[in-house]
Amino acid sequence: VAAARGRRRSLDEFAVIERFFSRPARTRRTDVVLGIGDDAAVTRAPAGKDLVIATDTLVEGTHFTADAPARSVGHRSLAVNLSDLAAMGAEPLWATLALSVPEADADWLGEFSRGFFALARRYRVALIGGDTVAGPAGATVTVHGCVAAGRFVPRSGARPGDAMYVTGHPGDAVAGRLLLDRSRFARRGGAALIRAFLYPEPRLREGRALLGIASAMIDVSDGLHDDARKLLAASGCGADLDAGAVPVSGAMRRLFREESLPLALTGGDDYELLFTVPRKLEPRLQRLAARWCCPITRLGEVTTGKAVRWHLGGRAFRVPNLTFRHF
């Protein structure tokens, strides 16, 4: 081990893949003709569907710290991608993983793979290929999903009069990250916030259920206000939104008090779904969402023009210019 320090030990790529990433029994899919082990994977594209593809990279120092639990890094590398599929209303099928690590640390790789596959199994995603390389720690995942032909939910479909909703409790993830930075241990009620940051749950079931209901959708990765602006800009609309309606969790309110609302509006890494719904479909949405495990909250309405206005208690509310850019 000492000899390996100072120079990059080359990974025995085959051994790493064999040991940590090629366990076909974990997620069997009949649409995987050829998985890991050949020059390329072969899959059978579902008939009558459009393929939906997303890719995202997590890099140490930018998206996670050197002492982040490897299980969380494995989970998040897949979760952030699945969240992008959720935001299109797509169902996940397959994933590829390109992993860069400074050395073949069996404990780290074991925990990474545990986090990755626990989530993959939950949503029946098959890992069909990838690459491992010696280098700075980072993971690039590409996910493939599908949606009924032409039925995906774009960012650009919001229309004036539509209502805007968000799932879950935006801000919990950034609060969890701040707790990790500040204390290194979970304070009362903080464990749930830390969990929201380390193990975000992609809203796949909710995203699919919103097909035919949501007119536009985005996942909240950069913060509620920022992502609302992106969705509305893509749709060529503005919005009147109630900052008092933003669903701040009880744990967040207890631990962050007056910081809660600014954090909920500007913190990223939530992976909740932000979407718009035509007014006539709102009763259907309410009936549907009553069965979901996460709450939905109506934030306000889409307007003509380009301005995204927040108000609080009848007055204009200025979203503070906090920057919680990843680390």
CB of 219 to Mg ion, least distance (A): 4
Q: Report which of 86, 40, 67 is spatially closest to residue 207, judged by C-alpha positions.
A: 86
- Answer yes or no whether residue 84 interacts with Mg ion by CB under 5 A: yes
> Smaller CB distance to Mg ion: residue 111 or 219?
219
Range list of H helices, 200-327: 204-209, 224-235, 250-256, 260-266, 282-289
Give the interface segment with Mg ion, choosing from 82-90, 104-112, 140-148, 308-316 (CB under 5 A). 82-90
Q: Report which of 81, 36, 56 is spatially closest to residue 139, judged by C-alpha positions.
A: 56
- Answer yes or no whether residue 269 interacts with Mg ion by CB under 5 A: no
Touching Mg ion, residues 211-240 (CB under 5 A): 219
Give the interface segment with Mg ion, choosing from 79-87, 135-143, 166-174, 260-268 (CB under 5 A). 79-87
Give the interface segment with Mg ion, choosing from 76-84, 140-148, 306-314, 315-323 (CB under 5 A). 76-84
Q: Residue 288, Cβ neighbours under 10 Å: how many?
A: 15
CB of 287 to Mg ion, least distance (A): 27
> Smaller CB distance to Mg ion: residue 219 or 272?
219
* Bridge-based pairing state of the strands 238-242 and 296-303: antiparallel
- Answer yes or no whether residue 270 interacts with Mg ion by CB under 5 A: no
Beta bridge partners of 219: 273
CB of 54 to Mg ion, least distance (A): 8
> Smaller CB distance to Mg ion: residue 84 or 162?
84
| Calpha distance 116→247 (Å, rounded) | 29
> Smaller CB distance to Mg ion: residue 79 or 126?
79
Beta bridge partners of 277: 163
> Smaller CB distance to Mg ion: residue 219 or 270?
219
**Sheet containing strand 273-277, strands side by side:** 216-219, 273-277, 163-167, 296-303, 238-242, 308-312, 315-317
Contacts with Mg ion, residue ranges (CB under 5 A): 84, 219
